[in-house]
Amino acid sequence: MTDPRTETAAAEPIVVAIDGPAGSGKSSVSKQAARHLGFGYLDTGAAYRALAWHALERGVDTSDALAVLDAAGDFDYAISLDPDDYWVRVGAAEVTDAIREPRVSDAVSGVARVPAVREAVNAMFRALVASSGRPGVIVEGRDITTVVTPDAPVRILLTAAPEVRAARRSAEVATQDATAVADALHRRDAADAQVVDFLTAAPGVTVIDSTALDFEQTVDAVLNVVRAETGAQHGR
């Protein structure tokens, strides 16, 4: 006889929602946790970055909401949910690396603060999760626990002290001056905080502070929460 829990998992993937500020380790930790669980991995920030890239390629002023909406009209976006084969595309263009450029990072907040854009993108995220074909999906971003998937069975706020986040981001972007990277991170936090509150845990959200944790310890902390909340024993 088929286990009804298996049927439910196949029909409705377990959603693990992870929020947090830049430099908290959301992307790398979420991706590794997804590997351990056999889950998909959805980087929601990539969509806003890709739209910012698309707008910049068209010469759009990303502080102009109407111009951003116009650019969103022909935004042909695709992303992989495979943590071992991650890519982002806009039309025929492979933009996985391009959307991490400083010029794109500086433009993201302008794109993300347009309400109609957020509504459309959030609907796209939910559709991607529903059609993932995976037993679960780790979805990470800024307002995942409160807006995108507020009913997710696992909701986590992953954070760390500002100086630790800045140091981690500087290590990731070794070609740039550490002070410049830290300043950019703080500006991004300040700009994004005007759109969503990603530093305060909503009721029912588990906080994981990785300030004193290394990478593997942070991954283990996420896995422990997932398994405690869902009993998930997927993966390795």
Point out the annotated binding site for ATP. 20-28
Closest CA to 106 of 171, 142, 61: 61
Name the E strands within 93-143: 93-94, 136-141
Q: Say if residues 21 and 76 touch (Cβ distance below 8 Å).
A: no
Residues annotated in the binding site, as ranges?
20-28
The angle subtended at Cα 134 by Cα 152 and Cα 10, nearest 5°, is: 80
Q: Residue 1: helix, strand or coil by DSSP?
A: coil
Name the DSSP class of 154.
E
C-alpha angle with apex 76: 72 to 80, nearest 5 degrees? 120
| Number of neighbouring beta carbons within 10 Å of residue 193 | 14
